[in-house]
Amino acid sequence: MRITKEDYLRIRRTILKKLYSAKAFKKGHLLLETLQSGIPSHLIGSVKDILQALIKEGLIIYYGKTAHGLAYQLNIKNLAEIEKLIFGS
């Protein structure tokens, strides 16, 4: 299913905000299930694709598989760019 550019950008920003507010930089991480929460049900399928795009951009790192599921964290090397995307300044 194709999503609109507005939905794509909104989900992208939501994912970055969740990771940032959880301080998922070096030691922290969030599960895919957590990142999908709060996203409208008809758009949840797009979250994995958007995560893959963020990994390619170097903004998110795949943390690995945990006992509870797949986990992700922010790439601390690009923290300034991530903050710019979240806070818009």
For residue range 14-46, list pLDDT tens digits in order.
Answer: 999 999 999 998 888 999 999 999 898 889 889
- Both tokens assigned to 78: 């690009």
The pLDDT, as a whole number, for residue 89 is 58
What's the one-letter identity of residue 37? S
User: What percent of the chain clears pLDDT 90, i.e. is strictly above it?
Assistant: 78
User: What percent of the chain clears pLDDT 70, i.e. is strictly above it?
Assistant: 98
Say if residue 50 is exposed, middle or buried (CB neighbours under 10 Å; 0-12, 13-18, 19+): buried
Instruction: Answer yes or no: is pLDDT of 2 > 90.
Output: no
Query: Which residue in the block uniquely carries the two structure tokens 């999503």?
Result: 3
- Both tokens assigned to 19: 């990771």
Looking up residue 76, the CATH number of its domain turns out to be: 1.10.10.10
Give the range of the structural domain holding residue 43, as residue numbers without chain letter.
5-87
Total domains, the chain: 1
